[in-house]
Chain A
Amino acid sequence: MVAPGGKHKRFFEVGDSDENKSDEGPKKQRKELDPDVEKRLIEAKVKALPQSNENTDTIKPKIRKYNRGERLSVKGLKDKKLKSQLKTKEDLFEKSALTAAKVEQWLLPSEGGALEADDGENTYDYTQEDIVKNVDISSAHKAFDLRLPDLGPYTIDYTHSGRYALIGGRKGHLAVIDWKTKYLMMETQVKETTRDIKFLHNEQFFAAAQSKYIYIYDKKGAEVHCLKEFVAPLKLEFLRHHFLLVSTNKAGVLHYQDTSTGQIVANYSTRLGPCRVLRANPYNAVVSLGHSNGTVTLWTPNMGTPLVRMLCHRGAVTSTAFDMGGSYMVTAGADARIKVWDIRKMQALHSYMAFQSTKSLDVSQKGLLAVGSGSTIEIWKDAFQVKQEKPYMKHKLFQNSTIQDLSFCPYEDVVGIGHTGGVTSILVPGSGEPNFDSFVANPFQTVKQRHEAEVHALLDKLQPQTIMLDPQKFGAVDKNPRKNLREQEEEEDESKKIQGQKKAKRKTKGRNKVGKRMAKKQLEAFGTKRSIIREQQQQQKQMKGALVKEREEPLPRALERFAS
């Protein structure tokens, strides 16, 4: 798999908690950090800017956040010019990370949400009513139930700025809502089974996977396109940086289509049956599919076979979700388990038990995990790094309606739940990113800004070829290019050939019988085993002897008879 890049290393450094370090005495700490050049540099720079009232220890983890990978070592370089250029570059990167960390207190003024329990209580004891009572009135309005019992179950999707919500009922009811003001922008009835809905690059367009084709509608509900190249779609996903609409269907085909040009980018058969689980990793735009045989496959449009195929569950995979930093994947299966995976190492981290099969999963911007099964939704906090014992929050839907889909609203402390009885929005303090970037996603976007953003998004559209497992590797030098690998392989083949020839020469009549060969193998195996055992025995003997010798010397004579 992919070797852990600089970014990941950094992550683990953050993980081993700087708070512990600060607990140690100042002397020891200084001693420990003295050789750390980076630290000294930072200290010098902090001293150079006296207006800052933050000290080094508080700013250091912040700097780590903005550092992209470790500092490049220029030790072995002979080219003086290149060396100095690289050094200047690295200094510049360090400086920019430092500046970013320093301006954080002004750039990021808003504090995130939080929920703290009183003594003797747990956060999951609090109901939505309790929370709603304790928040301001505008936030209280964000928790609501839309009772739509006839056309469900509903799926829900938010725009990437979190301002608009798109809901789609299974029986063809589609609506776009400015959900904070509860203003209904558009409502339509397509009179067809609608399995999934997804916003495209902004709130102006959305795609709906209907019984036969994928349709694209505009903000007024007018049908703009019908994508007839792809039949019986089940799930949709939109990669907004690439303008790619990804979909899977009943035949188990994965389909990538460019929504800006209409071009079909890729069409791959998974050969694993109908695929109802599709989720894109926001970190690298790699798409994960969950299959009925319990495997999860990761895909890019550049390869006809999955990048990764991992057996995750003993039943069908029911849902997957990704952490925003691209480090963790969560999968849920029909075996009533939820598993957390480190997708840099492709390792299982924890496994959580559920009482019933989970229908839907989602991870919030701040790393909260929402698990929807049956009519209950559980929110887990810090569930990736450490295995948690208790959930952070719980919520039970009204009238025991069954969850179909859930989605955290970006930049808000809200999770939207689509279920058989309609749509529910609940407050989850601490789930959303409190500070938005106007150039990434602006919840208060004006029409003009939207026009501008659309043009820029199209100009910055990434080509499908840029999707890769480790996006930090983009533009980096391939140290093991395929050409070299091929040469190596050829060399190995040749050497094998030569060895094979030698063996062929040794062959004599009658030695190639199957039985004899097996016998010989066993003998060899046994022989090697025997020799190993012998060695071990000898070592043990020697050890014993050594022990005895050691003992002999210090024991007084009178006690010798007790030692055996």
Chain B
Amino acid sequence: MKVRVISRSEEAFTRERSQDVTKVFRNLDPRLHPMERAQEYTRALNAVKLDKIFAKPFIGALSDHRDGVSCMAKNPSRLNCLVSGAMDGDVRLWDLAYRKTVAEFPGHNGAVRGVSISSDGDFLVTCGDDCTARLWELPAAEIGEVSGGVKHCEPVMVFQDKNSFRAVDHQWEKKVFATAGANVSVWDYNRSEAMTSFSWGSETVVSVKFDPAEPDVFVTTGSDRSICLYDLRMNTPLRKLVMQTRTNAVAWNPREPFNFTAANEDCNCYTYDMRKLKFAKCIHKDHVSAVMDVDFSPTGREFVTGSYDRTVRIFSYNGGHSREIYHTKRMQRVFSVRFSGDATYVMSGSDDTNIRLWKAKASEQLGVLLPRERAKHEYLDAVKQRYKHLDEVKRIDRHRQLPKAVFKAKKLRQEMTEAARKKESRKRAHSAPGSMPREAARKKRIVAELE
């Protein structure tokens, strides 16, 4: 006879000393893990609830400005560095880690409308209503807390123009920048006159952004409701798209460099493919007032928007609705927003003279995570993803407390769109078949595409 029975020695299954790592044994047989679906669901439900508990996105405010913050720029080569310009001509360099001003750049009379840092992080260009663009050298980076008080910097160069400037952006390769105003001008650091100047129509250009992947291509938006594409290698603009309402800002997707997202006055953002401007790739709805600024996360999967409705929202690059909304009682109209270089934080500059620092994921655990912690977070994320369609999980995950004004405006907008839809459907029902062709929403807001 042959007999074998289960026999476990305690030594083989337990640790020898209390300093040793605990021995863990796994058996993945589904029979030992009954009701795993219900279990996973319970974990997902708990995870979304915990997310709500830990959702404390506001980190702090940078509050040295004396007037509304009009524009911000992040330093492409340093994470903790932010430059902001205010309506009273004040320009400040911030240390984000300590939330303190490092340097001031005095000189502008009247509002600063645009700031931009060169891709190597050495130079800063500011421009404003006083018809000047100023080139500054950014003070050398300091590690640790700022010592010796706030530095006052002198401009390296002042570029004079006849009209006021509205925006500025650096080219990603050379020491060249473009300004927007009455027309679009491209400047070299070493020349006081603009290298080239573009204009298409007589209206003011309000924003300009260089494509990070195709360094000579840039996009501008104008108060004639246009989005215009330019190439530095050509003498004339490439293409122009006219929409029904004005676009306030654009941001290029850093991972899909032919796509850019436009922040529009009609409360929506529109993602366009540079090559196909006939229709928007995606409409991002949720704001209830004009979207003032937009900025992409360096991952290219998300972007942040600031709006005139006093809220900041975070959208997925292909999502129709926002994933997150940030607001505080004291935050006023948001004029500029930026994603931090590590995709972890969001900065918003608003009319109430403050720059606010937010977490990009409201309930994310910051700091260095242990591998086990990280694994746990990943597991919970996967489980949440799996059960996100179930009622309870969806309800808890989606719920956001809205300010009363936004809530009411949202309701009103819903009613209005519903009424318009009904009206159109009735009209269609009472007109000859085919006489009212359906128009795609992604094309509706486009007036014309010019070449």
Q: List the interface of chain A (C-beta within 8 A of B).
A: 65-66, 68, 100, 107-108, 110-118, 121, 126, 130-131, 134-136, 138-139, 142, 241, 282-285, 324-326, 365, 411-413, 427, 429, 432-440, 442-444, 446, 449, 459-463, 466, 471-472, 474-475
**CB <8 Å contact, B7 and A466:** no
**CB <8 Å contact, A116 and B26:** no
A-B CB pair tally, cutoff 8 Å: 139
**CB <8 Å contact, A460 and B39:** yes
Q: Contacts of B34 on A, CB cut-off 8 Å?
A: 241, 282-285, 326, 471
**CB <8 Å contact, B6 and A411:** yes
Q: Contacts of A118 on B, CB cut-off 8 Å?
A: 1
Q: Does B31 contact A (CB under 8 A)?
A: yes
Q: CA–CA, A217 to B30, complex, Å?
A: 33
Q: Does B59 contact A (CB under 8 A)?
A: no
Say which one of B8-16, B263-271, B354-362 lies at the interface with A. B8-16
Q: Does B233 contact A (CB under 8 A)?
A: no
**CB <8 Å contact, A429 and B3:** yes
Q: CA–CA, A474 to B38, complex, Å?
A: 6
Known contacts being A121-B1, A449-B22, is A462 close to B27, with CB within 8 Å?
no
Which of A100, A325, A413, A460 contacts B31 (CB under 8 A)?
A: A325
Known contacts being A115-B1, A460-B42, A475-B387, is A466 close to B35, with CB within 8 Å?
yes
Which of A65, A108, A131, A463 contacts B3 (CB under 8 A)?
A: A131
Q: Contacts of A472 on B, CB cut-off 8 Å?
A: 37
Which of A100, A435, A444, A462 contacts B35 (CB under 8 A)?
A: A462
**CB <8 Å contact, B25 and A475:** no
Which of B1, B6, B7, B38 contacts A117 (CB under 8 A)?
A: B1
Q: Does B440 contact A (CB under 8 A)?
A: no
Known: A115-B3, A462-B38, A466-B35. 15 other contacts (CB 8 A): A66-B29, A68-B30, A107-B26, A110-B8, A116-B3, A142-B5, A283-B34, A284-B34, A429-B5, A435-B27, A437-B25, A438-B26, A444-B10, A462-B39, A462-B42
B317 to chain A, nearest CB (A): 14
Query: Considering only CB atoms, which chain A residue lies closest to B34 in the complex?
Result: A283
Which of B1, B5, B27, B28 contacts A433 (CB under 8 A)?
A: B27
**CB <8 Å contact, A108 and B41:** no
Query: Considering only CB atoms, which chain B residue lies closest to A92 in the complex?
Result: B382
Chain B interface residue count, Cβ-Cβ cutoff 8 angstroms = 36
Q: Contacts of A412 on B, CB cut-off 8 Å?
A: 6
Q: CA–CA, A311 to B24, complex, Å?
A: 46
A448 to chain B, nearest CB (A): 9
Q: Contacts of B1 on A, CB cut-off 8 Å?
A: 115-118, 121, 126, 130, 134
Q: CA–CA, A68 to B36, complex, Å?
A: 11
A84 to chain B, nearest CB (A): 13
Which of A66, A116, A449 contacts B28 (CB under 8 A)?
A: A66
**CB <8 Å contact, B9 and A138:** yes
Q: CA–CA, A413 to B34, complex, Å?
A: 22
Q: Does B21 contact A (CB under 8 A)?
A: no
B430 to chain A, nearest CB (A): 31
Which of B9, B10, B28, B39 contacts A107 (CB under 8 A)?
A: B28
**CB <8 Å contact, B3 and A134:** yes
Q: Contacts of A121 on B, CB cut-off 8 Å?
A: 1
Known contacts being A107-B28, A284-B34, is A475 close to B41, with CB within 8 Å?
yes
Q: CA–CA, A67 to B179, complex, Å?
A: 60
**CB <8 Å contact, B5 and A139:** yes
B378 to chain A, nearest CB (A): 13
Q: Does B390 contact A (CB under 8 A)?
A: yes
B6 to chain A, nearest CB (A): 5
**CB <8 Å contact, A437 and B2:** no
Q: Does B285 contact A (CB under 8 A)?
A: no
Q: List 15 A-B contacts (CB under 8 A).
A: A112-B4, A117-B1, A121-B1, A135-B3, A135-B7, A241-B39, A285-B35, A436-B27, A437-B27, A440-B32, A443-B8, A446-B14, A461-B42, A466-B35, A474-B37
Query: Considering only CB atoms, which chain B residue lies closest to A96 in the complex?
Result: B28
Q: CA–CA, A437 to B28, complex, Å?
A: 8
Q: Does B33 contact A (CB under 8 A)?
A: yes
Q: Contacts of A65 on B, CB cut-off 8 Å?
A: 29-30
Q: CA–CA, A438 to B8, complex, Å?
A: 14
Q: Contacts of A241 on B, CB cut-off 8 Å?
A: 34-35, 38-39
Query: Considering only CB atoms, which chain B residue lies closest to A117 in the complex?
Result: B1
A318 to chain B, nearest CB (A): 26
Q: Does B43 contact A (CB under 8 A)?
A: yes
Q: CA–CA, A466 to B39, complex, Å?
A: 9
Known contacts being A126-B1, A427-B5, is A100 close to B28, with CB within 8 Å?
yes
Q: CA–CA, A461 to B46, complex, Å?
A: 10
Q: CA–CA, A471 to B34, complex, Å?
A: 8
Query: Considering only CB atoms, which chain A residue lies closest to B15 in the complex?
Result: A446
Q: Contacts of A134 on B, CB cut-off 8 Å?
A: 1, 3
A3 to chain B, nearest CB (A): 17
B29 to chain A, nearest CB (A): 7
**CB <8 Å contact, A66 and B6:** no
Query: Quick one: which of B87-123 are within 8 Å of A by CB?
Result: none
Q: Contacts of B5 on A, CB cut-off 8 Å?
A: 113, 131, 135, 139, 142, 413, 427, 429
Q: Contacts of A138 on B, CB cut-off 8 Å?
A: 7, 9
B35 to chain A, nearest CB (A): 5
Q: Contacts of B4 on A, CB cut-off 8 Å?
A: 111-115, 135, 429
Q: CA–CA, A330 to B196, complex, Å?
A: 89
Q: CA–CA, A262 to B245, complex, Å?
A: 61
